[in-house]
Chain A
Amino acid sequence: METLMAFVVGALFAASIYMMLRRSLVKLVIGLILLSNSANLLIFTVSGLERGLPPLIAPGETLPAGGWADPLPQALILTAIVIGFGVLAFAVVLIHRAYQVVKEDDLDKMRSTDT
């Protein structure tokens, strides 16, 4: 399964970089969303994929029954998802604001600080 996921992650990265290289502000935002998703999925994949072994402990036990998927990358990704959303919200509002001020969507025309 990791082999298939490797190609999925690769495709996501390629799509995100392609979008970020566009000159439109809106496409930049879409690229950002894809990029944070692909990074999360990358970490998730390289930590090893397990089917049906969530890191949960049944009542009265001290360890998950029958093995477990690695919980540490999951914790890291969870943090990353939430922070990614925070950054996204900020970026979206910032871009919206920038568009209102400069009336321009083309990044190549937003090169200097005094427009």
Chain B
Amino acid sequence: MLLAVLSGFILCALAPWLTRSFGERAGWLLALLPAALFVYFLTWVPAIADGESVIITYPWIPGLDVNLSFLVDGLSLLFALLISGIGTFIIIYAGGYLHGHEYLPRFYAIMFAFMASMLGLVVSDNIITLFVFWELTSITSYMLIGFNHEDKNARWYALQGLIVTVAGGLALLAGLVMLAVAAGGEYTLSGILAAEDMHAAPFFTGMLLAILFGTFTKSAQVPFHFWLPNAMAAPTPVSAFLHSATMVKAGVYLMARLNPAMAESDLWFYMLGIFGALTMLTGSVMALRSTGVKAILAYTTIMALGTLTMLIGIGTEGAIIAAMTFLLAHALYKAALFMLAGALDHETGTKDVTKMGGLRHVMPITFIAACVAALSLAGLPPLFGFIAKELMFEATLGARGGMAVFTATLAVLSAIMIVAMAAVFALRPFTGARKETPKTPHEAPPSMLAGPVVLAGLSLIFGLAGFIPAMAIVQPAVAAVFGAELSVELYLWHGINAPLMMSILAVILGLVLFWKWDTVLDGFKRLTFIDRFGAERGYERFMDAIVWVAEWQTRILQNGYMSNYLLVIVLTIVGLTGWTLLGHTDTPMPLALADVNLYEAVVAALVVAGAVFASVTRSRLGAVATLGIVGFGIALIYVLFSAPDLGTTQIMVETLTVILLVLVLFRLPEFINYSSAGTRVRDAAVALSLGGLMTLLILAVNDATVAEPISDTLVAWSEPEGHGRNIVNVILVDFRALDTLGEIFVIGLAAIGVYAMIRFRAEDKAQ
């Protein structure tokens, strides 16, 4: 299993080299890996279909109990099969689509990294591992969307997708950690799903919203849906892969995965039900007003994601069966349709369906495959999509809490529009009179037809023989999502019932809509408010606001005035430390002045007087001289209070300082008062507040000892261990010798700096 997950990353490193070596046939060769993975996952099917769920654990850091664990059950197997199976065709397809492209080796490398991340995501048992793979899919898809990096739009849309999904990822991380805490410190999915009393956690609502923010952004739910159609800037193989089996379904996967633990929550039910249904409708409406082949498909993907979210939210047995069936059906037809869209674009040179026509004679295989896949999209018998749609209608009618009318109405409305768009996609480019296109079309190469034909064929086979997918994969997947064993049977014919009536209604109205589509399009063109007030405009506003705030705070906080920086720092210290001090001091501080000797008081007074005089004098010499008084006064204090070493050091340093100041300062201008009286008063107040704070701080901590000091040990070791009788010296050169080495280094560096600056001055003069 570990090898299965990591093999994609290994091939990612090898792919560029293989592509260069094998040239033309590289796509077919590289597709062997996903094909092998597909076969590997197929071998799991019998065991999983029997209701097993397997956890494979690799010790990672055994001492810390950190393991790499993988979970294989119906749900992860369904996803793994889709990823590896569709991935195989995508890799072959890319060989034809990007034939001769300069960056093809790079494309394969990112594609394999993406595929491996996605596989890792769906089989991870540890939620932190899951999160790492989740973010990896965001990053690799960023590189894939921006693959045509010379195109400004591609770069912009890639960044947009990245920002939206990674913002969600951040929330997801918080949500997952809360989830683990709520489950009693359990970081494995299997453990979380087995945990009890999770709903009792006080932060349950926050956790749920954080997780949903992550899944909604990833799976392009309203109002975060705008990034997905923009991701069409990617080459078509990427769009086909991202929008059928993978990336965008990661959010759906996680919601399905957590469903057993969350389904009891009403918030979960309403959030998923309402947002899912709205997303479904939004996707359908947006598809209806699109004319680009890829845009139509992208919006129908949003419809599908909304449907899946809604079904998981409804959460009844029938809804979960519908969700898993719909997931499989959608992956099959959507991957096929995208690859066909790419073939159309590739052969005709245009993406606009209104500019194509009469292609059925030149591209017959493409036409047939498009018809089959589009029938599945529209949900017509005998395709697998029909079964999925019937189940979906039935599930919306069974929603609890008064939601049934809402979900069922929206489902029918969206189905009408999807039927129309399926017809547009399958018929517009191929029937009618031939239209002139930028390129002269002919049938696409085999590498570009293999995927659509096989996947469209599967849609047909699964529709006619529903028991194959039902037993093999849908039933175990439903069991995993529903959290209980049950049996699933999929048939085309359910008898004459409400869902069938809804389907018939949708098809009839959908065909009417198709017939009048040109009129509808004109109508939409006049409704420009969608572009002005849409969610994407909100995103742009938000990004502008971030830039505005950044500029504003730079102007305020980092305006280049030295005094401004200092004021911010000092006031922050006074505010925060003062606040803490107030909260921790309840007894009045003792003011013990009785033990002060007269000579000590004189020294202290000298130091204070020197500091004050140095601050107010207008004479440079006076300032330097009083600074000397302060320094020597402090040296006296050191000597008086048992620190002779400090005293001698301070005297030497003070002497050097005075000499240095006299040498340098007198080359600088006289003291001038630049600032106004008001500024000086403000500065004095700020300075006094810090001084006052320091005084209070010393008074407050004077008698506080929080831990046993290590000094006594150092004193005891000094003579026997350090062989020195001056304990301060022993500490400096022995116990803390590394510190002293660092100190020597700093002094050396300062000396070099000083030397260099003086040197350059000499050179300047020489010029």
- Find out whether the CB atom of B754 lies under 8 angstroms from the CB atom of A23: no
Among B100-108, B438-446, B686-694, the one that faces the other chain is: B686-694
- Find out whether the CB atom of B660 lies under 8 angstroms from the CB atom of A57: no
Instruction: Label chain B's interface by main secondary structure.
Output: helix
Residues of A within 8 A of B686 (CB): 17, 21
- Find out whether the CB atom of B653 lies under 8 angstroms from the CB atom of A62: no
- Find out whether the CB atom of A6 lies under 8 angstroms from the CB atom of B642: no
The interface bits of chain A over 84-112 (1 if a CB of B lies within 8 angstroms of the residue's CB, else 0) are 11111110111111011000011110011
Contacting residue for B561 out of A33, A75, A108, CB 8 A: A108
Among B300-308, B324-332, B671-679, the one that faces the other chain is: B671-679
Residues of A within 8 A of B739 (CB): 79
Residues of A within 8 A of B751 (CB): 86, 89
- 24 CB contacts below 8 A, A to B, read A1-B595, A1-B596, A2-B698, A8-B604, A10-B694, A22-B674, A34-B630, A50-B642, A52-B642, A53-B642, A55-B642, A56-B725, A58-B725, A63-B719, A71-B715, A78-B728, A78-B732, A86-B746, A86-B747, A90-B750, A93-B757, A95-B668, A96-B667, A106-B674
User: Within the assembled complex, what's the spacing in Å between the Cα atoms of A46 and B401?
Assistant: 67
CB distance from A60 to the nearest CB of B (A): 10
- Find out whether the CB atom of A99 lies under 8 angstroms from the CB atom of B643: no
- Find out whether the CB atom of A56 lies under 8 angstroms from the CB atom of B630: no
When A50-B641, A56-B726, A72-B710 are in contact, do A6 and B731 touch as well, CB less than 8 Å?
Answer: no
Residues of A within 8 A of B672 (CB): 24, 105
- Find out whether the CB atom of B562 lies under 8 angstroms from the CB atom of A12: no
- Find out whether the CB atom of B630 lies under 8 angstroms from the CB atom of A21: no
- Find out whether the CB atom of A70 lies under 8 angstroms from the CB atom of B709: yes
CB distance from A57 to the nearest CB of B (A): 4
User: Within the assembled complex, what's the spacing in Å between the Cα atoms of A18 and B732?
Assistant: 34
- Find out whether the CB atom of A21 lies under 8 angstroms from the CB atom of B604: no
CB distance from A75 to the nearest CB of B (A): 4
CB distance from B682 to the nearest CB of A (A): 9
Residues of B within 8 A of A16 (CB): 611, 687
- Find out whether the CB atom of A107 lies under 8 angstroms from the CB atom of B623: no
Residues of A within 8 A of B687 (CB): 13-18, 21
B560 within 8 A of A: yes
- Find out whether the CB atom of A61 lies under 8 angstroms from the CB atom of B719: yes
The interface bits of chain B over 538-568 (1 if a CB of A lies within 8 angstroms of the residue's CB, else 0) are 0000000000000000000001111100110
Contacting residue for B711 out of A9, A34, A70, A85, CB 8 A: A70
CB distance from A85 to the nearest CB of B (A): 5
Residues of A within 8 A of B644 (CB): 54, 56
- Find out whether the CB atom of A56 lies under 8 angstroms from the CB atom of B727: yes
When A22-B675, A68-B727, A92-B660 are in contact, do A17 and B691 touch as well, CB less than 8 Å?
Answer: yes
Q: A1-B600, A51-B640, A63-B719 are in contact. List 4 more A-B contacts (CB 8 A).
A: A14-B691, A72-B709, A105-B672, A107-B561
When A2-B698, A44-B641 are in contact, do A55 and B690 touch as well, CB less than 8 Å?
Answer: no
Closest 7 CB pairs of A and B: A14-B691, A10-B695, A111-B560, A69-B642, A18-B687, A86-B750, A6-B698
- Find out whether the CB atom of B727 lies under 8 angstroms from the CB atom of A71: yes
Interface residues of B in 573-607 (CB under 8 A from A): 590-593, 595-596, 600-601, 604, 607
CB distance from A99 to the nearest CB of B (A): 6
- Find out whether the CB atom of B683 lies under 8 angstroms from the CB atom of A18: yes
- Find out whether the CB atom of A29 lies under 8 angstroms from the CB atom of B665: yes
- Find out whether the CB atom of B614 lies under 8 angstroms from the CB atom of A30: yes
**Chain A minimum-CB-distance residue to B658:** A33
B645 within 8 A of A: yes
Contacts from B to A (Cβ < 8 Å): 559-563, 566-567, 570, 590-593, 595-596, 600-601, 604, 607-608, 611-612, 614-615, 620, 623, 627, 630-631, 634, 637-638, 640-646, 649-650, 653, 656-657, 660-661, 664-665, 667-669, 671-672, 674-675, 683-684, 686-688, 690-696, 698-699, 701-702, 709-711, 714-716, 718-720, 725-728, 731-732, 736, 739-740, 743, 746-747, 749-751, 753-754, 757-758, 760-761
User: Within the assembled complex, what's the spacing in Å between the Cα atoms of A72 and B627?
Assistant: 27
Residues of B within 8 A of A46 (CB): 698, 701-702
Residues of B within 8 A of A61 (CB): 719
When A1-B595, A7-B695 are in contact, do A85 and B656 touch as well, CB less than 8 Å?
Answer: yes
- Find out whether the CB atom of A33 lies under 8 angstroms from the CB atom of B657: yes
- Find out whether the CB atom of A22 lies under 8 angstroms from the CB atom of B642: no
- Find out whether the CB atom of B720 lies under 8 angstroms from the CB atom of A62: yes
CB distance from A67 to the nearest CB of B (A): 10
Contacting residue for B668 out of A26, A49, A81, CB 8 A: A26
Residues of A within 8 A of B760 (CB): 97
Residues of B within 8 A of A17 (CB): 566, 570, 683, 686-687, 690-691
**Chain B minimum-CB-distance residue to A99:** B668
Contacting residue for B634 out of A25, A37, A87, CB 8 A: A37
Contacting residue for B664 out of A23, A64, A74, A92, CB 8 A: A92
Contacting residue for A14 out of B643, B650, B660, B690, CB 8 A: B690
CB distance from A42 to the nearest CB of B (A): 7
Residues of B within 8 A of A96 (CB): 664, 667-668
**Chain B minimum-CB-distance residue to A12:** B611
- Find out whether the CB atom of A30 lies under 8 angstroms from the CB atom of B627: yes
User: Within the assembled complex, what's the spacing in Å between the Cα atoms of A55 and B650?
Assistant: 18
- Find out whether the CB atom of B695 lies under 8 angstroms from the CB atom of A4: no
Contacting residue for B665 out of A26, A34, A86, CB 8 A: A26
- Find out whether the CB atom of B649 lies under 8 angstroms from the CB atom of A26: no
- Find out whether the CB atom of A105 lies under 8 angstroms from the CB atom of B669: yes
Contacting residue for A9 out of B593, B620, B665, B694, CB 8 A: B694
Residues of A within 8 A of B671 (CB): 24, 26-27
- Find out whether the CB atom of B702 lies under 8 angstroms from the CB atom of A33: no
When A57-B725, A71-B711, A78-B646 are in contact, do A44 and B683 touch as well, CB less than 8 Å?
Answer: no
- Find out whether the CB atom of B740 lies under 8 angstroms from the CB atom of A5: no
Contacting residue for A54 out of B561, B595, B604, B643, CB 8 A: B643
User: Within the assembled complex, what's the spacing in Å between the Cα atoms of A107 and B561?
Assistant: 7
- Find out whether the CB atom of A5 lies under 8 angstroms from the CB atom of B698: yes
**Chain A minimum-CB-distance residue to B725:** A57
Residues of B within 8 A of A81 (CB): 646, 649-650, 653
User: Within the assembled complex, what's the spacing in Å between the Cα atoms of A90 and B615?
Assistant: 22
User: Within the assembled complex, what's the spacing in Å between the Cα atoms of A90 and B660?
Assistant: 11
- Find out whether the CB atom of B642 lies under 8 angstroms from the CB atom of A15: no
Residues of B within 8 A of A106 (CB): 674
- Find out whether the CB atom of B728 lies under 8 angstroms from the CB atom of A75: yes
**Chain A minimum-CB-distance residue to B753:** A90
- Find out whether the CB atom of B627 lies under 8 angstroms from the CB atom of A11: no
Contacting residue for B740 out of A26, A53, A79, CB 8 A: A79
Residues of B within 8 A of A4 (CB): 593, 596, 600-601, 604
CB distance from A80 to the nearest CB of B (A): 9
CB distance from A90 to the nearest CB of B (A): 4
**Chain A minimum-CB-distance residue to B744:** A82
CB distance from B73 to the nearest CB of A (A): 60
CB distance from B105 to the nearest CB of A (A): 43
Residues of B within 8 A of A82 (CB): 649, 653, 743, 747
When A9-B695, A42-B694 are in contact, do A23 and B669 touch as well, CB less than 8 Å?
Answer: no
When A21-B686, A24-B674, A44-B646 are in contact, do A63 and B715 touch as well, CB less than 8 Å?
Answer: yes
User: Within the assembled complex, what's the spacing in Å between the Cα atoms of A87 and B660?
Assistant: 13
- Find out whether the CB atom of A20 lies under 8 angstroms from the CB atom of B566: yes
- Find out whether the CB atom of B630 lies under 8 angstroms from the CB atom of A37: yes
- Find out whether the CB atom of A13 lies under 8 angstroms from the CB atom of B698: no
User: Within the assembled complex, what's the spacing in Å between the Cα atoms of A45 and B634?
Assistant: 12
CB distance from B41 to the nearest CB of A (A): 59
